[in-house]
Chains A and B, each alone.
Chain A
Amino acid sequence: MAAAPAPPADREALRPLAWACAAFAGGVLLNCDRVPAWTPATALLLIAWRLTTERSGARLPGTVARALLALAVVAVVLWRFHTLNGLAAGTALLMLMSTLKLLETRARRDQLVMVGAGLFLLLAACLDRQSLARLPLYALQAWLCCSALAVVASAGFGARAALQLAGRALLLALPLAVALFLFFPRLPGAFWAIPRGGEALTGLSDSMSPGSIVKLVADYDPAFRVQFAARAPPAEELYWRGPVLHDFDGHTWRRTSGVFHLRQRLQYLGTPYRYRVALEPTRQRWWFALDTPAQSPDTNVLLTYDNQLLGAEPLTEPISFDVLSYTHTRALEPLGAFGRQQDTALPPGANPRSVGLAQTLRQRAGSDADFVQAILDYLRTGGFVYTLTPEALGADAVDDFVFDTRAGFCGHYASAFVTLMRAAHVPARVVTGYLGGEWNPIGGYFVVRQSDAHAWAEVWLEGRGWTRIDPTAVVAPERLRRGVFDLLPDALATRARLLRGSAWLTGLLQRWDAANAWWSDHVVKFDYSAQLDLLGRFGIRSPDVRYLGWAFTLALLGWLAFIAWHIGRSARPAPPDALARAYARLCHKLARIGPPRAPHQGPLSFAATVTTHRPDLKDSVHALLARYAQLRYGPAAPASRAQDIEEFRRAVARLSLSRAVGGRQ
């Protein structure tokens, strides 16, 4: 036969490599937005090059060239990242090194390594991000890799057959994965934590300068979600406290660093609100809570003197915590001298006109409370406008704002208000955080978005303590009612308006958000304590890891047994009928005097085998087996078939294997 390695044969040979490359490319694409663009670009280019060389049969680089290339890759990664550790550098290194593996991918084993690299990149992506939206991508990649394994392992698999096999295998493995997820002993703490560097902080920062909040306004991402245990506070009380800012240099407000005050004792007034906050990772230290939290939700979190929750570490994973908050309080102690000094300090000589205005108004007012009211009246009646695109302000920013531009947003008003208060020696501070939140009826929670970022003020009033004043609410009361979007300039708001424009789309978004919240709460945050909770529900109360191990092992064995049973069942033939049983009995009987019937032996060839061992039985055995052949393969017998089979059965029973006279030879 003339063997013709024509193009089709080539394509056939290319298939496993192409699948391995596809699995690897999938892994590259999953990580491509976490590493600089040149990394995936290099990887994909090399994949394409490798596939073309395979087609054209060009030579691959030699050992020396490959070693030099590997060294060069390490050097480039070191040069660009200054480290080989960490997620970005590690991923880039893995990506590039596995790409180099392509240069020596010849045998099936090398292709398996490529698929393994694809799976490893999938793992890297899973460690990095676990959002619900990426789940289908991860599932697809797992499917692709498993199909590639099937094709590489056995070239006979077509694309469809490989995908089917891999899909079925993955589906069969799914319950096992769930069992692993639920019962595999989890160690408290994230021991796989990977140093992450160079990632942008999201959300509020610990300083506020004109324009800093407006950057957030166009950001529709959720900052956190809140579920109230009972009644939720009214919308105008939904002030979510973030960084409290004390230091002002005339332009930027900052948190005071290095100052430690004891928290004052407070009398809590009004309704207590119990709720659970699910916070997205901010890479910042503060945890957001409603107005005044009563105590810290976690031992690692400090409730500061200005009622902030401050964590020990920046938040890199999503977390949930339960808090109890009040929206109204009364101070039980006077403000200390140091606190008073800190919260009345102003940069000397700055904003002279505002200082003058404040002092005049303070002299006219009878008390600090009256003075606050007077300033608010001034803001209300002074022709102030709420806008998210204010004019730039000069060196005396507050003066410019109060007397010239009179247009700004929450940051301007809070800054100006606190400056005016401090000018009259009334202690005041800027509070940044979020205002409001969107009620999600599907999940039963509020979602607070970055666009809800807000800044307001707190003033110290004798006899009442720190009191929340929102000067923006005076100027633009609609900001409280409707949120910031209706006030946005068109360019920023188009997308948001589009999203909120249709009720259908809003519903869809709320559903999606609820699904995300569920995913984040129940899957991503499923940790050791959640595992113990779950086991507790099944009556296992001991926090012993061994129980988990046993549960896991039992689940594993149970499921493997099911898979074995499932496979065995599909391979099992139909139950034997009466004729088959009789035939089996005959074969069994005949096996006593000679070799048993081989599975592929038909009745007549078995008869021949038997008669070579016992020529004396030739006639009876032959007759019986021929009878069977006729019953099984002959023309469909008339109504007497059942009777014929019964007769055959009896004949089998009657068959005597003893030798005729003469006995054994």
Chain B
Amino acid sequence: MNAVSAGDSDAATLVTVLGALETVILGKPEQIRLCLACLLARGHLLIEDVPGVGKTTLAHALAHVLGLAWQRVQFTSDLLPADIIGVSIFDRASQRFNFRQGPIFTQLLLADEVNRASPRTQSALLEAMEERQVSADGTTYPLPEPFFVVATQNPHEQLGTYALPESQLDRFLMRVTLGYPDVAHERELLRGGERRELLSRMAPALSAAAVLRVQRAVRAVHVADALLDYTQALIARTRERSDLKIGLSPRAGQGLLRAAQAWSYLAGRPAVLPEDVQAVLPAVVAHRLERRDPTGGGDGDALAREFIRAVPVPP
């Protein structure tokens, strides 16, 4: 009984979380919901857009509203793995090496402009993301729970950046693009002050413990065989396409289902519906699909919508 009431209150809190986030990032309820679903599905999030549309603000707001400890690392080309993971320092007093934890030992790591770092540093981060632990000097240090990475990158900036390869993009559960606000919201933005200032006035709505609880509840959202059929048909469709370099990996399939569960949970449904899968599909698969011929057709987002239209929902 207790658990149920806690669950119910969590669900109610999430509605307020969404509301709070929407006051910070104006006019993007869909994207905010996706970002939240991504974190609730224990996934890492990649926010990709041009500078100045509120990527960092959104990441910041997420951490703040969820009540998580967070760190921010601005990625640059001279950033070293040790700058993220930590470093062993010789302590004269004890005549021993002590591991000094890097910024990654936090609950939400905001990796700003992740494509500016060298591949070596990127891969150190991405390994930690996948394993949820860090190894240094032969010792393994588990990362805190929950642990999220919210990375941002600017897709249009090419000079001096290292594009994340497909294998590493695959580790992000979702890629979300914010885009410019519409006229009304832009006006509101211009009229209002700095959005981040709002955050300081906002109280965290959840806590780390509550986030873990919600994550467990998300995993319990029912997935029927009929839905698995539909999901598999979608995944198979991406592998049949000859104009794609690769289809969706099994890991992507798992992620798709988890994201759909989270989406369903946010909508207050006890079971995943095809609509939930369709809602998260573009964000989950767009960054994993690449056409062989980069000039042909639309981007991954358009592709994902094509898949949705092409695969019938079984009656």
Which residues of A line the B interface, CB within 8 A? 1-3, 12, 154-157, 573, 576, 580, 583-584, 587, 598-605, 629-630, 632-636
Q: Are A604 and B242 in contact, with the CB atoms below 8 A? A: no
Q: Give the residue name and chain of the A residue nearest to B225 (CB).
A: A636
Does chain A have a CB within 8 A of B297?
no
Q: Are A635 and B222 also in contact (CB < 8 A) when A1-B163, A2-B158, A604-B273 are? A: yes
Complex alpha-carbon distance, A2 and B308, angstroms: 27
CA distance A303 to B244 in the complex (A): 72
* Chain A residues, CB < 8 A from B273: 602-604, 629, 633
Q: How far is the CB of B285 from chain A (nearest CB, A)?
A: 15
Cβ of A155 and Cβ of B242 under 8 Å apart? yes
Tell me if A632 and B226 are in contact (CB < 8 A): yes
CA of A163 to CA of B114 in the docked complex: distance in angstroms?
A: 43
Q: Check if A601 sits within 8 Å of B313, measured CB to CB.
A: yes
Rounded to whole angstroms, the CA-CA distance of A517 and B226 in the bound complex is: 59
Which of the listed residues B163, B278, B290, B315 has the most CB atoms from chain A within 10 Å of its own CB?
Answer: B315
Contact residues in A for B222 (Cβ distance below 8 Å):
633-635
Residues in B with CB closer than 8 Å to A632 are: 224, 226
Complex Cα spacing A155 to B310, Å? 21
Interface of B with A (CB < 8 Å)?
155, 158, 161, 163, 222, 224, 226-227, 241-244, 270-275, 278, 290, 292, 294, 308-315
Cα–Cα distance between A603 and B273 once the two chains are bound (Å): 8
Distance A154 CA – B293 CA, assembled complex (angstroms)? 12
Determine how close the nearest CB of chain A comes to the CB of B15; give it in whole angstroms. 19
- CB neighbours of B313 from chain A (8 A): 599-602
State in angstroms the CA–CA spacing of A476 and B263 once bound together.
Answer: 100
* B292 close to A600 (CB less than 8 A): no
Give min CB distance, B182 to chain A, whole Å: 22
Known: A605-B275, A633-B227, A633-B273. A157 touches B314 (CB 8 A): no
Contacts of A603 in B (CB 8 A): 273-275
13 residue pairs of the A-B complex, CB under 8 angstroms, read A154-B242, A155-B292, A156-B243, A156-B292, A157-B242, A580-B315, A598-B309, A599-B313, A600-B308, A600-B312, A602-B313, A633-B227, A634-B224
Query: In whole angstroms, how far apart are the Cα atoms of A536 and B292 in the complex?
Result: 57
Cβ distance A69 to chain B, nearest Cβ, rounded Å:
32
Contact pick for B271, options A576, A601, A635, CB 8 Å: A635
Interface pair B271/A604, CB less than 8 Å apart: no
Contact A600 B309 (CB under 8 A): yes
Instruction: Give bound CA distance, A600 to B274, whole Å.
Output: 9
The answer to whether A1 and B155 have CB atoms under 8 Å apart is yes
Complex CA gap A584/B244 in Å reads 34
Q: Are A156 and B241 in contact (CB-based, < 8 A)?
A: yes
Would you give the shortest CB distance from B56 to chain A, in whole angstroms? 22
Question: Within the assembled complex, what's the spacing in Å between the Cα atoms of A634 and B155?
Answer: 40
Q: Which residues from chain B contact A1 at a C-beta distance below 8 Å? A: 155, 163, 290, 294
Q: How far is the CA of A601 from the CA of B227 in the complex (A)?
A: 13
Q: A3, B312: Cβ atoms under 8 Å?
A: no
Q: A1-B155, A3-B294, A633-B273 are in contact. Are A576 and B315 (CB under 8 A)?
A: yes
Chain B residues with Cβ below 8 Å from A583 are 315
Inter-subunit contact A633/B224 (CB<8 Å): yes
* A308 CB, nearest partner CB in chain B, Å: 65
- Distance of A581 from chain B, by nearest CB (Å): 8
Residues in chain A near residue B227, CB distance under 8 A? 633
User: Which residues of chain B are within 8 angstroms of A635 by Cβ–Cβ distance?
Assistant: 222, 224, 270-271
A602-B270 CB under 8 A given contacts A156-B242, A157-B242: no
Neighbouring B residues of A154 by C-beta, 8 Å:
242
Given contact pairs A600-B278, A633-B271, enumerate 13 new A-B contacts (beta carbons under 8 Å): A1-B294, A2-B161, A156-B244, A156-B292, A580-B315, A598-B309, A600-B312, A601-B313, A603-B273, A629-B271, A630-B271, A632-B224, A634-B224
Q: Which residues of B contact A156 (CB under 8 A)?
A: 241-244, 292
Best-buried of A580, A598, A602 by chain B (most CB within 10 Å): A602
Closest 9 CB pairs of A and B: A156-B242, A599-B312, A602-B274, A580-B315, A602-B275, A2-B163, A633-B224, A635-B222, A634-B271
Taking CB atoms, residues of chain A closer than 8 Å to B294 are: 1, 3
Give the contacting residue for B270; candidates A3, A157, A634; CB below 8 A.
Answer: A634
Most buried by A among B227, B273, B309: B273
Which residues in A have their C-beta under 8 angstroms from that of B243? 156
Give the chain A neighbours of B272 by CB distance below 8 A. 633
What are the residues of chain B within 8 A of A629 when measuring CB–CB? 271, 273
User: How distant is A47 from chain B, measured CB to nearest CB, in Å?
Assistant: 25
Docked Cα-Cα span, A604 to B263, in Å, equals 14
Take A157-B242, A633-B226 as given contacts and tell me if A12 and B292 are in contact as well, using a CB distance cutoff of 8 Å.
yes
Task: Give every chain B residue within 8 A of A600 (Cβ-Cβ).
Answer: 278, 308-313
CA distance A2 to B312 in the complex (A): 34
Closest to B299 in A: A1
Taken together as a complex, chains A and B put the C-alpha atoms of A200 and B63 apart, in Å, by: 90
With a cutoff of 8 Å between Cβ atoms, the chain A residues found around residue B314 in the complex are 573, 580
Per the bound structure, the CA–CA distance linking A584 and B315 in Å amounts to 7
Q: Which residue of A is nearest B293, CB measured?
A: A155
CB distance from B278 to the nearest CB of A (A): 7
User: A314 vs B161: C-alpha distance in the bound complex, in angstroms?
Assistant: 78
With a cutoff of 8 Å between Cβ atoms, the chain B residues found around residue A580 in the complex are 314-315
Contacts of B242 in A (CB 8 A): 154-157
Bound-state CA distance A348–B273 (Å) is 111
Query: Using Cβ atoms and an 8 Å threshold, which residues of chain B touch A602?
Result: 273-275, 278, 313
Q: How far is the CA of A3 from the CA of B163 in the complex (A)?
A: 10
* List of A residues within 8 angstroms of B274 by Cβ: 602-603, 633
Residue on B with the closest CB to A157?
B242
Smallest distance from the beta carbon of B276 to chain A beta carbons, Å? 8
B266 to chain A, nearest CB (A): 14
| Bound complex: CA A603 to CA B269 (Å) | 14
Let me know if B270 and A604 touch, CB within 8 A.
Answer: no
Q: In the bound complex, do residue A604 and residue B275 qualify as a contact, i.e. CB atoms below 8 Å apart?
A: yes
Taking CB atoms, residues of chain B closer than 8 Å to A157 are 242
How far is it, in angstroms, between the C-alpha of A584 and the C-alpha of B312 when the chains are bound? 13
Closest residue of chain A to B313 (Cβ to Cβ) is A602
Give Cα A18 to B313, complex, Å. 40
For A13, the closest partner residue in chain B by CB is B292
> Which chain A residues border B271 with CB–CB below 8 Å?
629-630, 633-635
| Cβ distance A611 to chain B, nearest Cβ, rounded Å | 15
CA distance A580 to B226 in the complex (A): 11
- Closest chain B residue to A580 by CB distance? B315
Min CB gap B112→A, angstroms = 19
Which chain B residues lie closer than 8 Å to A573 at the CB level? 314
User: What is the distance, in angstroms, from B271's C-beta to the closest C-beta of chain A?
Assistant: 5
In the docked arrangement, what's the CA distance between A653 and B294, Å? 51
CA A3 to CA B291, docked complex, whole Å: 11
Q: Which residue of B lies closest to A573 (CB)?
A: B314
Distance to closest chain B CB from A90 (angstroms): 38
Bound complex: CA A604 to CA B275 (Å): 7
Tell me the complex Cα distance, A565–B311, Å.
Answer: 22
Contacts of A634 in B (CB 8 A): 222, 224, 270-271
Query: Cβ of A604: which chain B residues have Cβ within 8 Å of it?
Result: 273, 275
Residue of A nearest to B276 (CB): A602
Chain A residues within 8 Å of B163, by CB: 1-2
